[in-house]
Structure 1
Amino acid sequence: MNVSFIRELYIPIQPTVKSLGLVSYQEFLPHLQLQPFVYCYWQLKTTEKLSEAFNYRVVADGCIDIFFELDHSTESFVMGFCKKYTEFKLESEFNYVGIRFLPTMFSQLFRIDASTISNKAEELKFILPQFASIIQSDFNVFIDIKSIVQLLDAFLLDQLSTVKFDNDTRLYNAISVIMNNYGVIDVKEIDSGISHRQLRRLFNFYIGDSMKTFSKVVRFQNILRAKPSTQSLRKNKMFFYSDFFDQSHFIKDFKHFYGVTPSKAFGR
């Protein structure tokens, strides 16, 4: 089954960084052959030294990321699927680079059980020691972003050439149904041709969590993508169209995935 539909249907969004212009966040496309598997490379860095430590919030996006700091490339990490937002307290100066894999693709490329790294950041040397060694030897604070992208492309293209994908139609049909319905679906109604127990095992291995949790994250991400204003949320009652029982449930779920209420997140 062609899995390129995931990129076509799903855009994992992270909040815009706001720190008086002193912190920059940018995303970069990988090589064309990698785009069905890698959503983006990203860089989060200070443009000037901050007066204090920086709290960076990562919202739930259904993806798995590898990341490292160019100043300390001896340490690299992989962040698994997260069922809620995560906050990182960074120093007053930093320069992080990351790879955001589209749902299922980290496990497809590296044959790693995604459930073993869910809801936590693990040191990459214990998960992918070869890649951790490459990061340590080839990356440093003096390297420019064009060279960073080229090096990451080279490693991942080489990895891609050695992997035989398990494009199980039962798993990807279920993911397609979830994404085409923007996460607003009763997963018990999804007919994949296998039992829900078997499908749960596939989701745990390739996604890192259950179909239900993944659907909720897809629903949340589609709300972010819609960028509703506080006024439109009240007027149009978007939470009803997103399969929430009432507004309080909508706010509670949103805060769980984002870390703040919708009105504070959208701020308009």
Structure 2
Amino acid sequence: MENIYFQKEATPKLSEIIKGFWQIDKKEDVSIVREKIIPDGYPELIFHYGDPYKTNIDGVWQVQEPNLMAGQIKNHFFLENSGKSKIFGIKLQPWGLNELFDIDMSKLTDKVVEIPIEILRTLAPIKKIGTSTLTFTEKVSNIEDWFVEFLSSLNLKHFKGQDAVQLIIKDQGKTNLKEIRNDIDISERSLERYFKTKIGLAPKYFSRIIRFSHIFKLAQSDNKMDWLDIVFLSGFYDQSHFIKNFKEFTGEDPSKYGFDEKNLANFFLNR
């Protein structure tokens, strides 16, 4: 039996902090599979309630803890299951982890780490729901109710840098950063500082990831496109520039990449 993937966008009243929810439930097939994870620009909270996973981000294989938070990843890395895969995840907006828990995101770049105990205490109701036997839809509904109440107790602030992030995402990473700074009236230094602390990447690199991830939406869309169309719509200068970026983020040539394969990389990048 293949992995069973579930996903749902967050309700509008939570979309300022949460992008969406996902679940992987591999009920029977326990074959060991090594899979690639490709950066998409969003941090996550992840709860394993099946058998452990191993991860290789920096060249060393390590067993993952069951309760994780993932910062911004700059390049692809690998995961390997050890048995049944049962995972519930919350994909946050790029600034979400910082806004919720005042985390310096520069310290989480290229890292997937155990959730600190003080944060895990706060998230205990979320963990309980996410790892329960409820259906995915029931889990999301209950977790959203919890987050609505939790967010009402916080004094969240809106920063100009957040507007820049939203503009980058809206234009699939193609807008010139100078134009964005002018549009929202923020200095280059202030924007760089915002991105370092609250996002974990430089603005230019974040834009590259968002532009790259748009390739997958185009390639997996119902309207089948040839590579020249995808190169143009993704905002690359030419095909060689496109291929170079694709290899940089995936380690593969785009002509050999399996966009229709049911794997974790395609599941995450198609959300």
TM-score bracket for this pair, using the shorter chain length:
0.7 to 0.9
User: What do you get for the CA RMSD once the two structures are aligned?
Assistant: 2.9
- Aligned with residue 198 of structure 1, among 190, 194, 207: 190
The alpha-carbon deviation at position 25 of structure 1 amounts to 1.2
Distance (whole Å) between structure 2 residues aligned to residue 101 and residue 45 of structure 1: 21
Q: Which SS does the other structure have where 2:258 is aligned?
A: helix
Residue in structure 2 matched with residue 15 of structure 1 by the alignment: none
Residue in structure 1 matched with residue 243 of structure 2 by the alignment: 251
Q: Which SS does the other structure have where 2:103 is aligned?
A: coil
- Aligned with residue 172 of structure 1, among 143, 152, 162: 162
Letter matched to residue 261 of structure 1: D
- Decide whether aligned partners of structure 1 residues 80 and 136 sit closer, same or farther in structure 2, where only a CA change above 3 A counts: same
Residue in structure 1 matched with residue 207 of structure 2 by the alignment: 215
- Aligned with residue 258 of structure 2, among 247, 259, 265: 265
TM-score for both structures, normalised by structure 1: 0.78
Superposed, 1:70-149 pairs within 5 Å as 70-71=49-50, 75-126=66-117, 128-131=119-122, 133-134=124-125, 140=131, 142-149=133-140
User: Please, which moves more after superposition, 258-267 or 85-94?
Assistant: 258-267
- Decide whether aligned partners of structure 1 residues 133 and 179 sit closer, same or farther in structure 2, where only a CA change above 3 A counts: closer
Superposed, 1:155-166 pairs within 5 Å as 155-166=146-157
TM-score for both structures, normalised by structure 2: 0.77
Letter matched to residue 195 of structure 2: F
- Aligned with residue 20 of structure 2, among 16, 19, 40: 40
Distance (whole Å) between structure 1 residues aligned to residue 33 and residue 118 of structure 2: 28
Letter matched to residue 259 of structure 2: F
Residue in structure 2 matched with residue 25 of structure 1 by the alignment: 5
Q: Gapped runs of 5+ residues in structure 2?
A: 53-64, 262-271
- Aligned with residue 61 of structure 1, among 36, 40, 43: 40
Q: Gapped runs of 5+ residues in structure 1?
A: 1-20
Residue in structure 1 matched with residue 269 of structure 2 by the alignment: none
Q: Which SS does the other structure have where 2:158 is aligned?
A: coil
Distance (whole Å) between structure 2 residues aligned to residue 163 and residue 252 of structure 1: 43
- Decide whether aligned partners of structure 1 residues 150 and 219 sit closer, same or farther in structure 2, where only a CA change above 3 A counts: same
Deviation sequence 1:227-260 (CA, Å, 0-9, x none): 27997114x4x43554434423311211332343
Q: Which SS does the other structure have where 1:53 is aligned?
A: coil
Asked if 1 retains the 8 angstrom alpha-carbon contact of 2:214 and 2:234, the reply is no
Deviation sequence 1:49-96 (CA, Å, 0-9, x none): 23x312232221110111011247982000111122232111231101
Deviation sequence 1:134-188 (CA, Å, 0-9, x none): 45656646444344324422432232112222211x3133224323432123324
The percent identity for this pair of structures is 25
Distance (whole Å) between structure 2 residues aligned to residue 155 and residue 116 of structure 1: 28
- Decide whether aligned partners of structure 1 residues 184 and 46 sit closer, same or farther in structure 2, where only a CA change above 3 A counts: same
- Decide whether aligned partners of structure 1 residues 151 and 125 sit closer, same or farther in structure 2, where only a CA change above 3 A counts: farther
Q: How many residues align?
A: 244
Asked if 2 retains the 8 angstrom alpha-carbon contact of 1:40 and 1:99, the reply is yes
Asked if 1 retains the 8 angstrom alpha-carbon contact of 2:18 and 2:92, the reply is yes
